A and B are shown apart, each in its own frame.
Chain A
Amino acid sequence: MFPKRFVLKRLLLLVPVLIGVATLVFSILHLSPGDPALTIAGERASQEFVERIRADLGLNDPIWVQYIDFLGKVVRFDFGESYVINRNTTVREIMANTLPVTLELALYGQLFGILFGIPLGVLSAVKQDTLTDHSTRVGALAGISVPIFWSGPLLILLFAQVLGVLPTSGRISSTFSVSPIRVTGMVTIDTLLAGEWDMFKSAVRHMLLPSLVIGVYSMALISRMMRSSMLEVVRQDYMRTARAKGQGAKITVLKHGFRNALIPVVTIIGIQFGGLLGGAVLTETVFAIGGLGTLLVEAIEVGDYPIVQGTVLMFAFLFTLVNLVVDITYSYLDPRIQQ
């Protein structure tokens, strides 16, 4: 049965989260140095022109009036137009172009983490204290410890420069144009939907290294959690009973142990999705992929406040939404949570 009350409660929690993030971003931007009107007008603009822009943007109003006005716009998801990066274009339009890029990267990273992390964790637990277990644990520790800004360039060096098998940057080969077939904005999916196999292959090849870089941390964390959770589950009485009744070891682990061991892992997957989004900022920069993360960094550098506000809120929204999905999954795995 669909846990309506549970989901409604979680959806209501989105409200304080978004108000909190909006208030934080608004306050930080107002406390940081810099004048948006001067940023728009340019250094050489006359004082009169700068003042006119200030009046147009409502920057002459007291901060509390601006805050109420800002919250009203946030509710409508209206962050105005970009000051510097893409003038006369709304932040909503800019984000609509860059969001799929980041989502694609984070989703493949997450997929990589789940596909490799869970089996490795199970394997490590089942073969406890063997060479397989030790190798997996050392690998997981390395995966958690190595930062993206180091592993990214190193992988580029190995796979692109030394072996020459994968591209170094971008989302697809420059010989292709994806604009005519844009549906979701995610290149791999759009090319697949259009049946453009050469383009699809190129997009997948471009996505491999960034996904690997961003997914290694996720994989390491998931495999560690899966191992400890599985070790606990295999010692339970019901597992012993299943074995005593003559059920095979593999079937017992997969049928009775796996689902129960998965519960804490699902929570970790949700919590560390925020890490993936944060990691996307670095990965996009290392691999020159123009996503939401790169946009945010650029907007902070040039003082494009509407874009900063929009992108930070979008990151918060995504993070909360993913956690909502995780909570629903969690409640399916363990119906007691709904109580």
Chain B
Amino acid sequence: MSVSPVVRERGRLVAGGGAVGAAATPVLVIGLVAVGGFGPLAAAETAFAFGGLWFGLALLGWAGSVASGRAIEAAQEHLDADTNWTERRSRRAMARIGGFGAGMMLVAPVLGTLVG
């Protein structure tokens, strides 16, 4: 079964962010244990909450871009205040950030189970 290029591109964006998030989680956990004085499980839980922040923010940003992006673009054009912001680029950025947060939220429980 072939996957459409659009879906493949979107998947690549989210997966790219997810890979970075997944790689950043052990670094954050080790940093929290070594520098912050956290226990291993508490550090993994904090990493999960951090991931949640990024993921929640990205979901809101993505939904906001989809819902109001065109209107914002039109308003910018209307007010002659072109900031180079576009709905498409905003959605792509939010997909990356969301992937990053989701990556952290997926890896943190694995680390927590291993060290907890």
Question: A interface vs B, CB < 8 Å?
Answer: 10, 13, 16-17, 19-28, 30-31, 62-64, 67, 228-229, 232, 264, 267-268, 271, 320, 323, 327, 330
Counted as pairs of residues, one from A and one from B, with CB atoms less than 8 Å apart, the total is 86
Secondary structure at the B interface, as helix, strand, loop or mixed, is helix
Interface centre among B45, B52, B60, B66 (most CB of A within 10 A): B52
**Smallest beta-carbon distance A29→chain B, Å:** 9
* Other contacts beyond A24-B56, A24-B60, A27-B56: 20, CB < 8 A: A10-B67, A16-B59, A17-B60, A19-B56, A21-B60, A24-B52, A24-B53, A26-B49, A30-B49, A31-B53, A62-B41, A62-B112, A63-B45, A64-B48, A64-B109, A67-B52, A229-B78, A264-B78, A320-B67, A327-B67
Closest to A31 in B: B49
B63 and A16 contacting across the interface, CB-CB below 8 Å: yes
Query: A64–B78 Cα gap in the complex (Å)?
Result: 45
Of A16, A23, A24, A26, which one neighbours B62 at CB under 8 angstroms? A16
Q: From known contacts A23-B56, A264-B78, infer whether A63 and B63 are also in contact, taking CB-CB under 8 Å.
A: no
In the complex, how many residues of chain B place their beta carbon closer than 8 angstroms to a beta carbon of chain A?
31
Residues of B within 8 A of A (CB): 41, 45-46, 48-53, 55-60, 62-64, 66-68, 71, 74-75, 78-79, 105, 108-109, 112, 116
Q: Chain A nearest CB: distance from B62 CB in Å?
A: 7
Can you sample 7 A-B contacts with CB below 8 Å? Answer: A16-B60, A23-B52, A24-B56, A27-B51, A30-B52, A267-B74, A271-B68
Partner of B59 from the list A17, A63, A323 (CB cut-off 8 Å) is A17
A27 close to B112 (CB less than 8 A): no
Most buried by B among A23, A67, A271: A23
Contact: A20 with B53, CB < 8 Å? no
Chain A residue, CB-CB nearest to B79: A228
